[in-house]
Amino acid sequence: MRWHDDSQLGLLPQESVIRIGEFVRHTSFIRRVVGRLAPIDSDYFWSRQVCQELPNFLKGDYDAIMSSGPPHSVHLIGQRISKKYRLPWVADFRDHFTLNPEYRPSSALHRKSDQRFERSILDASKAIICNTRINRREMIRRFGLHYHTKLHTIHNGFDRNDLAEAGTGLKADDQFSPSDCNLVYLGGLRGGRIDDSFFSVLESIGDMKFSRFNRILVHVFGDAGKRTELCTTLVKRGAVKLHQAVPANRMRAVLEQADGCVAWQSNKPQYRGTVPGKLYDYLAMEKPIFFLGQSNGEADRILRSFNLGRTAVPGNVNAGKEQLFQFVESLGIEHYRFLQQERYPVERFSRQFQAGQLAAVLDSILVD
């Protein structure tokens, strides 16, 4: 089930937007097959249409062009417009392309073609932005050290003003008991071992006694249609409570009620450079975080380096149990960094800080 948050539309700035006709995305079986067999991704034909029609709409002088994906077919647009108008080009990767753990090419030929296209992006662009430091290093390792001066890191981050303005006057569900340790998880459940890696840790806590709380209660806000049997068992025991997904204009109200937040991801090595988007929402609200994921991965390094929460590796239930117990015990006692006066570690993931990073990248290519 795909859920759309229409409340986000009101947060869009009033920038100049060029509408190029209406690209009709056909959903017939044949069209889906054609999209699957297309090079780069299923938006390839849309990107070609933009390349053909955009020159008819561009008026005035432009200093540079920036493309941001996924879908990574947008970089085809950036590449062609850059070449046609001789504009310096910045290619922004909000996620890996061929190095993405979810990358599933239709054939070996598609893989080779996509890798060749990705290398052409690195060759033709003036700068490439990666969304994590580990992703940047992985691109250097795959494509060559000589690209390192082109590659920059700007995390996905958060805009605290969005949450601050949207949540005004709203109340969260009345199911947050002050005697419990209320931990919030934002997002749908994926099912299988990924979710159960956390729920197994939660189950192992059992009847352990806490100094400040009666028990742990995990609030899941999102689609729970793929919940596992273990999750269902924990719901019946009262350790997990399922809620509907919350739009952006209720997110602040929900997170304000939380004592802390939780997130988890696959322990596969390919996910080392991945940071779940929900972590940035948690940081925006300055909530301590318990994270189950890659040891020494990007999310793990952020939380441990800046003392913003506790982490554990999926699969090691005993270690996860100890870390989760200590996390709950430390809430309100151990002051995580963003609960102190020093707020720089969190602010470096804010849009304001990242705007400065992007400005520095743009300055560097315009000077060249």
- In order of their start, the domains of the chain are 23-157+352-367 (3.40.50.2000), 162-347 (3.40.50.2000)
H or E, element range at 232: helix 229-237
Taken as a whole, the chain contains a residue count of: 368
Q: Judge whether residue 65 has pLDDT over 60.
A: yes
Stretch 162-167: mean pLDDT, rounded? 61
CA–CA distance, 295 with 305 (Å, rounded to integer): 13
Top-confidence range, 22-36, 136-150, 329-343? 136-150
What phi-psi label fits residue 233: left (phi over 0), alpha (psi between -120 and 50 degrees) or beta? alpha
Residue 15: per-residue pLDDT: 59
Greater confidence (282 vs 250) lies with 282
Q: Judge whether residue 172 has pLDDT over 70.
A: no
Residue 251: per-residue pLDDT: 85
CA–CA distance, 92 with 135 (Å, rounded to integer): 12
Top-confidence range, 1-10, 27-36, 234-243, 306-315? 234-243
**Could you tell me the pLDDT band of residue 61, with boundaries at 50, 70 and 90?**
confident
Q: What is the pTM of this model?
A: 0.85
The separation between the first and the last C-alpha atoms of the chain, rounded to the nearest angstrom, is 47
What is the DSSP annotation of 300-354? HHHHHHTT-EEEE-TT-HHHHHHHHHHHHHHTTTS--GGGSS--HHHHTTBHHHH
Stretch 298-316: mean pLDDT, rounded? 90
The position carrying tokens 């809430």 is 331
The tokens for 60 are: 């005035």
Q: Judge whether residue 261 has pLDDT over 50.
A: yes
Strand order in the sheet with 260-264: 240-243, 216-221, 181-186, 260-264, 289-292, 309-312
The tokens for 186 are: 């934002």
**Could you tell me the pLDDT band of residue 23, with boundaries at 50, 70 and 90?**
low
CA–CA distance, 78 with 66 (Å, rounded to integer): 7
Residue (of 290, 298, 304, 308) closest to 344 by Cα position? 308
Average pLDDT, the chain: 86
Q: Judge whether residue 20 has pLDDT over 70.
A: no
Q: Judge whether residue 249 has pLDDT over 80.
A: no
Instruction: Answer yes or no: are the C-beta atoms of 89 and 125 closer than 8 Å.
Output: yes
CA–CA distance, 234 with 214 (Å, rounded to integer): 16
**Could you tell me the pLDDT band of residue 24, with boundaries at 50, 70 and 90?**
low
The tokens for 296 are: 């020494």
